A and B are shown apart, each in its own frame.
Chain A
């Protein structure tokens, strides 16, 4: 069964704007990760946040995790056309398996 559910399913913004994507999950986790996928390609890891962390930054990315609400958000600041891609959250549980959500398709218009 799948774990994460992202929303929105699709997001279209102008270059320079911020993009926020959300992810909800159902079971307890060890960590939550965000990945990016360009059309037709494999996924690329962006950032990992552990279950005992609340916020993490990496460049223009900011991730939050609320384990009480079983939700996470990914914020991309000052978006660029090159950020256009699908973004997936993935949850990792005790046995190391990794489950992905359906993704958010982000379009950044130049």
Chain B
């Protein structure tokens, strides 16, 4: 039973390019969370999704960032026209489809470097 799989693990982009980060949740998990982490800092909440629904995107920048979790396939975090300030580690976590005390299982993260 594989854990949360994120890819790519490392991504280098030039300013103005697009970055696509993928997250496959644990088997049986239908909730996905995306977080961003700068070096030596905490996790900043970005978005919380369930299958085909965005539940809370209050942490997402209004422009250039989008996320989806389709019925089939992984969740995608998309950053358009990247800037140097987007360089960070992006972590995905998943949890099972039940209300109440959900424990998150994290992926190893995708490290984006914008040149």
Q: Is A58 an interface residue (CB 8 A)?
A: no
In whole angstroms, what is the CA distance A88 to B106 when docked? Answer: 13
Stretch at the interface among A11-19, A63-71, A76-84, A97-105: A97-105
Determine whether the beta carbon of B103 is less than 8 Å from that of A97. Answer: no
Contacts of B104 in A (CB 8 A): 33, 35, 43, 45, 90, 98
Among residues of B, the one whose C-beta sits closest to the C-beta of A3 is B45
Is A2 among interface residues, defined by CB-CB distance under 8 A? yes
The tally of CB-CB contacts under 8 A between chains A and B is 72
Contacts of B93 in A (CB 8 A): 42-43, 98
Bound form: Cα–Cα A2–B48 in Å = 14
Count B interface residues, CB 8 Å.
Answer: 29
Q: Are A97 and B42 in contact (CB under 8 A)?
A: no
Query: In the complex, which residues 1-54 of chain A have their Cβ closer than 8 Å to any Cβ of chain B?
Result: 1-2, 30-31, 33, 35, 40-45, 48, 50
Alpha-carbon distance A2/B38, docked complex (angstroms) = 14
What is B's interface to A at a CB cutoff of 8 Å? 4, 31, 33, 35, 40-45, 48, 55-56, 58-59, 91, 93, 95, 99-109
